[in-house]
Structure 1
């Protein structure tokens, strides 16, 4: 320990910090303060963070997770959008010289530039964060679509969203988010977090998701954006068949319908299937086939 105070994430220290600074969790920023040291340590362990790693954190709050990362990592750079939390973090993390706080919205930040400025290129880079629930998906998609390469991404999110990310074809939770996220990375739920671990308690339970680089696919889409747009279009009406959704994407003109039929025959995919029955590779195959047919 760098001082004799309890760790930031302990319930007593969390409450003391909140009272001292008269902090109230801002619903507009999705703030809930995690106050369970075992869970905080397990989050860092899920990322296998060690003293060779550089780590990006998003939304450090009062520094509870930041402290646990800093104890194990080489360096931590945390993005905090709430200016009111900057003096709090200056105090709570003052003994950790390997931490830098950046007062910026991660969705607007130039992440590749920050990584180049703050970290050595020869060290593994990881992202570990308790994400604001209301912008979990935009943050994850932004990170995964950037040129920055993470060895691991370990983030807390709403349990329901986590289930969608890891859902398999044919299940109720499987949808466009499942396909797109699984195209970008290997996704798994590390463990679940009860709502009672937070101050104040949110209305939902949470889960820790771990994303790691996925294996090379046997076939790739001709363009990522085209794949994402196509997948979203296929799930536009979940209760409708693939055939009906494809007409919604491309049109119902006789000539277009004939070309859709040609592609389905070529790929051997039944027009009667519902979109949630298709695998990631099915979606990639269809994207490329429709492109070759001149529909995309």
Structure 2
């Protein structure tokens, strides 16, 4: 999954101290199982190995996989998995995620991690992603919410934990980046049994102005002038429940 060229949206963190600081912004603890997605040469994996019980490091690019395996030999609690993470089976035991992922796979990776039964749902997710992508996942009246953000909101709370500088990476990205946190809501707004139907409802509303106009916004006390990207999680749930 990792590639060392910018055309594949791959940018590696340079400083182990910065990585340790970023992990310090997470809730990762000594007894945790943690997944590193697209581990590259193992810069994040090595720091995680000193902070938690076990690390599953996913990497399937042949050009860098051998280096990762060599670098991780001294870490007995690291398991290198030569597989595309998007095709992998998620752990049956509790786990967390901390990774610097390829930017172009951000949405796919988040969908895989969040659209699961409770057995395979991570306890917390920390991903380094593009700032603009992250902002659209965090419901706010200061900017629009993406379709994915609206689809996640009944079950997940999202926030930006820390901004990063472009010079923190090699090669430096052409966009601003942040550390994004996703944690399951302690009290979900909907049952997970309704997730597929709810997410299909949201997708239709984003895809078709006509479909969105047909939902009973006035009945749900929502201004009909507002767009799908301007609704709060609670408003989406009200609309879905009335549809």
**TM-score (normalizing by structure 1):** 0.73
Residue number among 128, 139, 155 corresponding to 1:184 in the alignment: 155
* Counterpart check, 1:273 vs 2:243: no
Q: Deviations over 1:105-136 (max 9, x none)?
A: 1111122xxx24xxxx4xx5211100110010
Residue number among 175, 181, 185 corresponding to 1:204 in the alignment: 175
Mapping for residues 1-296 of structure 1, pairs under 5 Å: 25-27=4-6, 29-111=8-90, 115-116=91-92, 121=93, 124-147=94-117, 148-168=120-140, 170-217=141-188, 219-220=190-191, 223-236=194-207, 245=209, 247-248=210-211, 260=215, 263-290=216-243
CA apart distance, 1:249? 5.6
Provide the rounded CA distance (Å) in 1 between the counterparts of 2:97 and 2:130: 18
CA apart distance, 1:32? 1.7
Larger-Rg structure: 1
Provide the rounded CA distance (Å) in 2 between the counterparts of 1:269 and 1:249: 12
> Where is the helix percentage greater, Structure 1 or Structure 2?
1
Relative contact order, CA 8 A, sep 6+: which one is greater?
2
Give the SS at the match of 1:38. Answer: helix
RMSD: 2.3
Q: 1:176 to 1:87 in 2, by over 3 A?
A: same
Unmatched tracts of structure 1, length 5 or more: 1-23, 238-244, 251-256, 291-296
Q: 1:184 to 1:219 in 2, by over 3 A?
A: closer
Provide the rounded CA distance (Å) in 2 between the counterparts of 1:177 and 1:57: 22
Q: 1:272 to 1:159 in 2, by over 3 A?
A: closer
Unmatched tracts of structure 2, length 5 or more: none
For 1:12, the equivalent position in structure 2 comes to none
Structure 1 segments of 4+ aligned residues over 4 angstroms from their partners = 218-222
Aligned residues: 239
